[in-house]
Amino acid sequence: MSLEVCGGKPLKGEIAVHGAKNSVLPILSATVLRAGVCVIENCPCLRDVHSAITILEHLGCRVHREGSTVTVDASTLHTCSIPDAMMREMRSSVIFLGAILARTGCAELYLPGGCELGNRPIDLHLSALRCLGAEIEEEGGHICCKASCMVGREIQLSFPSVGATENIMLAATAAKGTTRIRNAAREPEIVDLACFLQKMGVSIRGAGTSEIEVDCVEKTQDVIHRVMPDRIVAATYLIGAAMTGGDVLVCDLVPEHVATVTALLECSGCNLDIDRDKIRVRGTENLKSCGTIRTMPYPGFPTDAQAPLMAYATQCAGTAVFVENIFDSRYRHVSELTRMGANIQVVGRVAVVEGKSPLSGANVSASDLRGGAALVLAALCADGVSRISEEKYIDRGYESIENGFSKLGAEIIRKGE
């Protein structure tokens, strides 16, 4: 399978943003905490969501999807182990660790898989759980956790890891007393998870700040929760409209969540009209360089938007410099962009993009989720036809990306071998 894109057409129209991948995955894992029913609305149809549902079903949960609503009944959970093959499907599978441990007092799983973005150890996750009282044994990628009695502690994270913060929040629901997370991640997805847990009956304070407190909960309740919109998908559509010289209204988003992206688009010459839950972007022919972009934890510029914005920078006059501070191997899309005609040089964590590159259609391959999205954006601007293989990576975080861009007038289809 591949995505075939015929470039050169400005994007025009209106598009709604689906639920956030990075929010729904920890929320699905959190349903394990409740021996009852949780209803998740605005749940996107993604490969990673399918993988998470497969794990829930393996654990014994009854899961039913109807449209964008997923209902999870975790009262029938009967195992605390996740096999290696399921863990390898996605990086976020590690988030089940804290939830299973809190529910059953034990958890057995393997190191997670997902996109190859360099070294992403889960040491922060494991050390935090040990701090709460869990006994953890590691051998050959196999992780065995036991926690007969967890106790709330103060946990100081050396880095504001989103996954570690989420795992601590989930495990802390079963830790006697209060758990305090210092240098916690501040991402909107953390706030969404906290909102879900609060509906369940968990007392949480400080989500969205660098210090979060979680109290042990004795009794939970059934939950109905609507997942927040995906800020990276929103950014992708905004960038696509801008770099094709289009005119697009992106709806069902939270403007604050994409503020670092929209600020760069405005700085480079785009016209933006920002409303309460929608943004209209109108591109121009005279886009200029975004300058230096440094990826940082929220509220800084998101690493997930680095690759899409790099594709955008190829169409802006001047030089753009990207500094990747989160992952050590997140420039794998560069070689494919250069195959299309982009002028990009990489030295370590720094990538220098010389703009106004005339892009041409080419056969390219996605190597990760966001890098794949960058190739789609570049193909929309390229002269001729591009074929993007390994589109399965893109499907991890975009719900039928070809349908979304087709609604905006793009010539993009999915083709079989």
The residues assigned a catalytic role are 115
DSSP-derived letter for residue 229 is: B
Q: Measured between alpha carbons, how far is residue 105 from residues 52, 171, 410 in Å?
A: 21, 10, 51
Instruction: Quote the tokens at residue 373.
Output: 């999205």
* Residue 49 dihedral angles phi and psi, to the nearest 5°: -65, -40
H/E stretch holding 241: helix 231-243
Q: Rg of the chain over CA atoms, in angstroms?
A: 21
Please enumerate in sequence order all residues whose Cβ is within 8 A of that of 401, keeping only pairs 6 or more positions apart, or say none: 3, 373, 376, 394, 395, 412
For residue 302, whether the previous peptide bond is cis, meaning omega lies within 30 degrees of 0, is no
Cβ pair 86, 55 in contact under 8 A:
yes
Q: Which of 116, 142, 114, 146 is nearest to 129 (CA)?
A: 146
CA angle 263, 266, 272 (to 5 degrees): 105
Assign 5 to helix, strand or coil.
strand
Place of tokens 């030089």: 319
* 5: Cα separation from own chain's centroid: 24
H/E stretch holding 49: helix 47-59
User: What CA–CA distance (Å, rounded) separates 192 from 209?
Assistant: 13
| DSSP collapsed to 3 states, 81-140 | ECCHHHHCCCHHHHHHHHHHHHHHCEEEEECCCCCCCCCCCCHHHHHHHHHCCCEEEEEC
